[in-house]
Amino acid sequence: MLDTAKISEYKIKKIITHFCLDITADRTAYLLGINRNTINHWYKIFRLAVYAWQMKECKKIFGEAEVDESYFGAKRKRGYRGKLKRGRGTQKQPAFGLFKRNGRVYTEIIPNCTKAVLQGIIKGKVDPSMVIYSDKWRGYDGLVDVGYDKHFRVNHGDNEFSKGNGVHINGIENFWSFTKRRLTKFNGVKKNFELHLKESEWRYDKDPKVLEKELWIILKGHSKL
């Protein structure tokens, strides 16, 4: 598709630069003097390619990892008066995140934060030999019983955020904060949320110049282009 594009390679390079700087489509259209629909078209291509790349790159994880969940979307269901716990009473979309220390982030949209869901993902992605850090959410109860005997936890309910000796989940929590700040530019992203979540994985803690080089590699290797 890059070879058969109706706009010049020079303009595509400019669009890629703006995308990697995380400039919104409407702002990019204004700055480059290119039709907004054209920018939307290319941004969608980039996001689909990044999504496919991220999915392909995530394999079994070894080493040390932090796990956590977060919620995205509307704040509260109208008429709900009960005590709020883990998104209960909200219309938020839950997502699971796994941060490999000194490495990449893996995220997945999930139906809920039950033990069955969370531990099902962990068993599929995390080698039992690795060290896992989590909070005290009951969804992580019993990981030792299924082979993860190096499981360490912090109790956020008691305002405990680190036990020292590396026992914390600051890395994955920083990723969630980064992602939510990003998504405010897109008004929370009601459409294509999964694409934006994977894009945040890819962007996290990388310089725009590094992103630009990676995106060219991704685009040239993406089978649909």
Determine the pLDDT at residue 80.
47
Which residues fall within 8 angstroms of residue 117, CB to CB, at 6 or more apart?
Answer: 96, 110, 111, 139
In 3D space, the residue among 90, 81, 4, 49 whose CA is nearest the CA of residue 214 turns out to be 49
pTM for the structure as a whole: 0.85
In 3D space, the residue among 162, 192, 197 whose CA is nearest the CA of residue 176 turns out to be 197
Stretch 68-90: mean pLDDT: 62
Determine the Cα–Cα distance for residues 144 and 134; give it in Å rounded to an integer: 12
- pLDDT tens digit string along 33-53? 999 999 999 999 999 999 999
Stretch 153-160: mean pLDDT: 74
- pLDDT tens digit string along 164-187? 778 899 999 999 999 999 998 877
Range among 73-82, 123-132, 205-214 with highest mean pLDDT value? 205-214
Grouping H, G, I as helix, E, B as strand and the rest as coil, residue 61 is: strand
Determine the pLDDT at residue 85.
54
pLDDT band at 75 (very low <50, low <70, confident <90, very high): low
SS (H, E, C) 130-160: CEEEEECCHHHCCCHHHCCCCEEEECHHHCC
Structure tokens at 118: 């969370």
Determine the Cα–Cα distance for residues 157 and 84; give it in Å rounded to an integer: 14
Task: Identify the weakest region by mean pLDDT among 24-38, 56-70, 149-163, 202-216.
Answer: 149-163
Grouping H, G, I as helix, E, B as strand and the rest as coil, residue 168 is: coil
* Cβ–Cβ < 8 Å for 94, 118: no
Q: Which domains does the chain have, with CATH numbers?
A: 64-182 (3.30.420)
Determine the pLDDT at residue 52.
93
Task: Give Cα 175 to chain centroid, integer Å.
Answer: 8
